[in-house]
Structure 1
């Protein structure tokens, strides 16, 4: 167990579970994670290994005896008949038989139908009437002479969810965690290893939770296959439902005018549309029109009656092209069916989650640490739907006046949702609030940037905010705008005049673009955002290392394999830029690793031997005090390059996959956030 795991168990005892246990007990059972974690939370919510082992066996035994597999339905029905009574875990749906004026239940896996359900149970759990609810059901069997009477009897039905929780205890426990610790706890709770994700990547994962805690939130995520876009909405919460985007109809989603029956938006907190993309799909125009009205006004019509609803709408789908292709040739909404490729519909999206930034799901991304039992977190998020944190930035910042009401609504709802998730105790610093605000602005700006490409009637907008303390203006750009500025028009020069007639003061916090054009050699700073691509050692260093006779690299973290490989790639840059008939001395100052020192030295010797043939003389020395913290590169012709992360600027990639482009070419790797400063030391 990590120190974080210890802390999680200390403050949330009985409410957390080890996330790798879900895989252990699931086996071939096609059952949502929240069902499994409900059981694990009852029997394995502990840090004691022996108790966990016993609990796993108990949960396996419960699933073996009570979970209904479709191919074993006949056996389970026989068990109920012979015993007279038996508990089953199954998905139960209820419908009203208006001819008999009774409610009748159907069991998805057990295959039995038209079982009487008392009205009180239906009133207590109305979602039984819409698509069904996973439940633990105490079933009885009693044969009647009357053939029209079903022998199946529901004695007791309990949906798989928590009956209660202590919100104040949740808030008090939150105060015991730093922001980074809390984010890591949330990431472990949704099943991922936080050590494999950067800060921005973690926030992108947590944006998927906003529809569960923010009413009427409209989110879209388009990106490559295999990034887990639909996982949260299918397995995470009993309050959300995932449906196929191509199968939905007006009666199913909103209302059946002939029967008056309310659809999914009236019963679920989140309705997610899977496989939403696909130009060839044919969608009812009436559905799109009603959806546009609902997404804007939070209501829909049933005849002459207007009905309000709170369900958030999520649209997830796959893209066929990479990001630069879409930016150059089409737009980021191009994959949608033509009925949804409508500026009025798209303008109602509050946040566009850039799926191309989300990691493809790999085994190593899954967590083995402790996280909330997902049903507990689902109930917390549902409770937070009653809160509004959208105004918490106003004490420090104001959005510029030319941002439209609809844009502000999108920004505010994303900001409110993330603040509820990250800072439910409402104790965030000014910098933390600013970070969330920038992230919220970026997600709405991504929508508006594409709307301006799709519909020429949309005017360019400055997505910026002012700081209340000094009235400086900060412009926000999306990451793709930083990487590919040639596909975006800038409106930063359209500043309003201040009351005195001059220009309003401005502060730029945008990262410098790492371009292919060689810069003028001068003092400068490069800031790269997390997940930014297109960055290489050649672009960062080659112009400043050109013509150097000796290069000294100081970096205490050139120790383990991937760090030493980074250093080798740095030397490759030197080999590419130096004349073949010249020689360069490269000297490394680092720290010897406590555990892998011999392998470290062996790697340095191999570099030394292999680079000599290219005219690079490599030497190294270890800082014996092991207090070395500086990270920089110094040349003998007058340049000092300060590296806040050293050469460790790339996120994890498949280092052993010889056929991976990110392995072969640096420009296809996602970066960590870092800064580099170039200083002139002489001349």
Structure 2
């Protein structure tokens, strides 16, 4: 299978050795950054010079503590400094001036400028998303270099020096070819593809001892990577890798662990007139949910209910839309886990989630107790898909509506089915289809048996747990099962 993987994906495959090597864990790099470095420094046999790579990291991956030294080099020493960073741009509507921010270093757009000649050379990369990873080069434009019009302007801050962007190169050195990825899936059996996906997110398939259910439960965590506004709840024992997968693998998501969460931080800050986390990410994971507190429970609950239902949030007079999924992650007691979803699993969650109307808006539940506790045998040690490439593919597939069209054709919805149940099951099934069968461009590309086993049945079970918990929370939902969804057999569809 490894030879097939390398032949199909060529340069998008890297050798990852997380089981034996502590080199990258010592650097504390996210997976997408680690794999980018591996791709840059590895030879065809997966070997790299650790000293050379370490020098590159020291030179081009500064820590937050290095920012003062960088400012000294740029502003005082008048140097141009190049390093890898996450950048966002802002275009002033009134003046037409373009500025940028480096959020990881606390540099805001009010202290920066992108001059016209630089903007025209790199704008295609910078406007692709709210934030972009890449190699930035910065310099300094002192106050004296402002043209006369700015110098005569006595408005506050008009004659200030600014850090300027002098060059930018996208972090992603290749073009994402979605159609090639879809076609490559034909070369693998479903069993092999599960192993390809596990390797892409740093897990070793042999550590699961051939247990398909455990593999699939693990991969269920990837559904929000590939489907817009998919809202999930996962409760799992400690040490099953929730924080790692949601927080360290993809550059398109955000993990918030414990602490305080406000409506301003998550949705929109009225004072700063700035959209929150929900607008700049593919998914927001509230990890260690039992330890998260909310500044105003009623305010947050109302905002969440509106957003989870429609993707629209309203704060004051501001109305915004977003596509991020919301995932709640928490730990679970053994006695609750042993009940396999048939006890009150949400009693320890913050008060904001003790309302059935809010819980109903979460599409599905991940039974994290089916995922083994992290151990060395589960860490990837071998050739696998580049995590940065894989997560970029997942990000692009979010825009592909063709999979939902297939799901709408395949799922038979019974009469008088609850609308939220129908949407939840279809949305989860669509995510599974994208993840496990990206080659499915039309009905005949997947058999009814495969769709039922890997997409519909799993989506029903995930929704069924939410439905049962609603009955525990609220008598109104007690005894109400989800509709009996089935696969519609079409004469043009092969049933394997």
Indicate whether the TM-score tops 0.5: yes
Please name the residue that 1:422 is paired with.
436
Q: Give 1:406 deviation, angstroms.
A: 0.8
Match of 1:343 in 2: 356
Q: Displacement, 1:448?
A: 0.5
Residues 262 and 76 of structure 1: is their aligned pair in 2 closer, same or farther, counting only changes over 3 Å? closer
Structure 2: gaps of 5 or more residues: 146-156, 491-496
* Match of residue 457 from structure 2: 438
Question: Following the alignment from structure 1 to structure 2, what is the Cα–Cα distance between the partners of residues 391 and 113?
Answer: 41
How far is the alpha carbon of 1:63 from its aligned partner? Answer: 0.7
Quote the offset at 1:73 in angstroms.
5.0
How far did 1:333 drift? 1.5
Cα distance change on mapping 1:239 and 1:170 into 2, 3 Å: same
What's the Cα RMSD here? 3.6
- Partner of residue 311 from structure 1, selected from 314, 324, 347: 324
Q: How does 1:52-201 map to 2 (within 5 A)?
A: 52-54=47-49, 58-72=52-66, 84-92=79-87, 103=99, 105-106=101-102, 108=104, 115-118=111-114, 120=119, 125=126, 134-140=133-139, 149-150=160-161, 152-158=163-169, 160-161=171-172, 164-197=175-208, 198-201=211-214
Secondary structure in structure 2 of the residue aligned to 1:416: helix
1:18 equivalent in alignment to 2:36: no
Which of 34, 37, 55 does residue 35 from structure 2 map onto? 37
Number of positions where the alignment pairs a residue of Structure 1 with one of Structure 2: 461
Matches of 1:203 and 1:375, distance apart in 2? 21
The structure that has the greater radius of gyration is 1
Q: CA deviation at 1:27?
A: 4.8
Q: How does 1:130-279 map to 2 (within 5 A)?
A: 134-140=133-139, 149-150=160-161, 152-158=163-169, 160-161=171-172, 164-197=175-208, 198-244=211-257, 246-278=259-291
Q: Is the 8 A contact 1:283 1:339 kept in 2?
A: no
Using CA pairs under 8 Å that are at least 6 residues apart, name the structure with larger relative contact order, 1 or 2: 2
Cα deviation for residue 211 of structure 1 reads: 0.9
Distance 2:370 2:296 in 1: 29
Deviations 1:13-53 (A, max 9, x none): 11121222695542533332212222222333x6424xx32
For the structure 1 residues 255 and 393, does the alpha-carbon distance in structure 2 shift closer, same or farther, using more than 3 Å as the test? closer
3-state SS of paired residue (2:187): coil
Distance 1:58 1:110, change over 3 A: farther
2:148 paired residue number:
none
Residues 1:410 and 2:424 aligned together: yes
1:6 is the counterpart of 2:19? no
Q: Is the 8 A contact 1:213 1:420 kept in 2?
A: yes
Q: If the length of structure 2 is used for normalisation, what is the TM-score?
A: 0.81
Shift of 1:275: 1.7
Q: Matches of 2:261 and 2:292 in 1, distance apart? A: 16
1:340 Cα deviation (Å)? 1.2
Provide, for residues 283-342 of structure 1, a one-character-per-residue CA deviation record: whole Å limited to 9, x for no partner.
Answer: 531111111111011212254564332111111122244335667995111221112111
Contact 2:60–2:83 (8 Å) recurs in 1: yes
CA 1:135–1:283: 2 relative to 1, 3 Å: farther
Residue 61 (structure 2) pairs with residue 48 (structure 1): no
Distance 2:345 2:475 in 1: 16
Preserved CA contact (<8 Å) 1:234 1:240: yes
Name the SS of the counterpart of 2:290 in structure 1.
coil
Distance, in Å, in 1 between the alignment partners of 2:13 and 2:127 is 28
Residues 56-90 of structure 1, C-alpha deviations (whole Å, 9 max, x = no match): 55433311222213455566566666692332234
**What SS does structure 2 have at the residue aligned with 1:457?**
helix
Question: Offset of 1:402 from its aligned partner?
Answer: 5.7
SS at match of 1:300: strand
1:14, 1:459 → 2: CA distance? 53
Greater helix content: 2
Question: Quick check: 79-88 or 222-231, which moved more?
Answer: 79-88
Does residue 457 (structure 1) correspond to residue 476 (structure 2)? The answer is: yes
